[in-house]
Amino acid sequence: MKKKFIVLGVLFATFGFTKINAQINFGEKAIGAVQKGVSGFTFSNADAAALSKAAVDKLDKENEIAAATDGYTLRLNRVFGKYTAGEDYTLNYKVYKLKEVNAFATADGSVRVYSGLMDIMDDNELLAVIGHEIGHVANHDSQDAIKAAYKKEALMDAAASQSTTVATVTDSQLGKIGSAIIDSKFSRKQEAEADLFAYNFMKKNGYNVNAEESAFRILAKMSEGSQASFIDQMMSSHPDSKQRAEDAKKRAEKDGLYKPYVQQKIVNTVPVPAKKAATKKTTKKK
């Protein structure tokens, strides 16, 4: 698959666009719970979570997931493993062994981080990126996006049948909803709020907030390369990475915390156990 460097700030709908577009296909078993008596105008956060989980379950089956003993998994658990719950959401984490620079979080609390992202960002920068994605979940952006997609399809069918509600969700509708989610983009306001969520998360937990600026600088630098036209098209409705880096810098300056960030060592390998010091045997002289 053609390698694409993806800009931070778009949920799983647009992160890894080519790969996910080919994969999402809601089967009857996976979405059975969602199909049962869902009204087109009362689509709840629970419905959004169920629909998101069906998509992520399928993606998990179709992508290589780093094993529990893999260096990538060990690192992600060390960096973020203790942060599993918010005010009204529960998170679960996995690493996809893919070269793309990518991460996403969905309405059911699933967080997926690509190994390609972990190869270029240190622990603090990862905290900023993943914190941003969790911000979309905490701010209900991800729930709202999938609900909007659902309602759009429900209303289309309602108009055709001169009905006011849709009692069940068909596989055909779910296919359309999946495509709508993939094509969706967050507003500038939602992106800015997710950025602020990540900054506040890092500040609250004692991390180096300047890593947020650094993460955006990395993505801005990448956008100047061969994938620039693709990224410009994808991010046309969002603030660019350079501007978001400047915004992160201003937040840190306002709090009196700003200091140019120096990237730390990146280690995605399994730690090597320390060797025990050899002990010399001594013999007593007779």
Exposed/middle/buried for 65, CB within 10 Å: 0-12, 13-18, 19+?
middle
Residue listed under structure tokens 């997931």: 65
Joined together, the tokens standing for residue 206 give: 């004692």
CB 268 within 8 A of CB 115: yes
Write down the residue that tokens 């400047």 correspond to. 246
Residue 161, CA distances (Å) to 152, 176, 180, 213, 250 in order: 14, 18, 21, 51, 53
Instruction: Answer for the pair 99, 185: CB distance below 8 angstroms, yes or no.
Output: no
Encoded tokens for 98: 């893919």
- For the chain, the C-alpha Rg in angstroms (whole number) is 22
Q: d(Cα 135, Cα 139) in Å, to the nearest integer?
A: 6
| Active-site residue list | 133
Instruction: Write b or e for each residue in 171-210: b if 16 or more Cβ atoms lie within 10 A of its Cβ, otherwise e.
Output: eebbebbbebbbebbbeeebbbbbbbbbbebbbeeebbbb
* Alpha-carbon distances, residue 47 vs 31, 41, 50, 107, 190 (angstroms): 10, 12, 5, 9, 21
Alpha carbon distance 183, 185 (integer Å) = 7
